Amino acid sequence: MLREIFDLERTWREGPDSGESDEYEQIYVTAFLLFRIGDPADSRRLYAAKFRTGDMDLGICFDAHAIFGAGRHETLRWLSENGYTDERAHLSEWLSHAEDPKIEDWARQVRDYFYSPDGVLLLDEL
């Protein structure tokens, strides 16, 4: 279900009506949930959203960290074993230059951004 939601969100963002709405974070929440599940098969889907998108904001704002939910080595291995050699090479290069913040730190920051332990969004903290 998360994959389908992610794909629908990406399709919507790349469509003509996406600029008319302030509902733009759903794809990031869904990407984070896919990251937390950690299936390396999702890496190609998340990679495409970051690096092969027609949406400039998505290309800039989508965190490549989300691609590595299965772990760095597991993700790169899966891409290589399944014929995604260009993606693997690009992500290996990205990892060698873009480790700020580290993936683990990024995951904590995103969780804190989207989740309130009290279940209440505190507007004064935004």
Number of domains in the chain: 1
**pLDDT (0 to 100) of residue 90:** 94
What's the rounded Cα separation, in Å, for the pair 13 and 1? 18
What is the pTM (predicted TM-score) of this model? Answer: 0.82
Residue 41 lies in a domain: yes
Domain range for 89 is: 2-15+23-116
pLDDT in tens, the chain (126 residues): 999 999 999 888 877 666 556 667 889 999 999 999 999 999 999 999 998 776 777 888 889 999 999 999 999 999 999 999 999 999 999 888 876 668 888 888 888 888 877 766 555 554
On the 0-12 / 13-18 / 19+ scale of CB atoms within 10 A, 30 is buried
Residue 121 lies in a domain: no
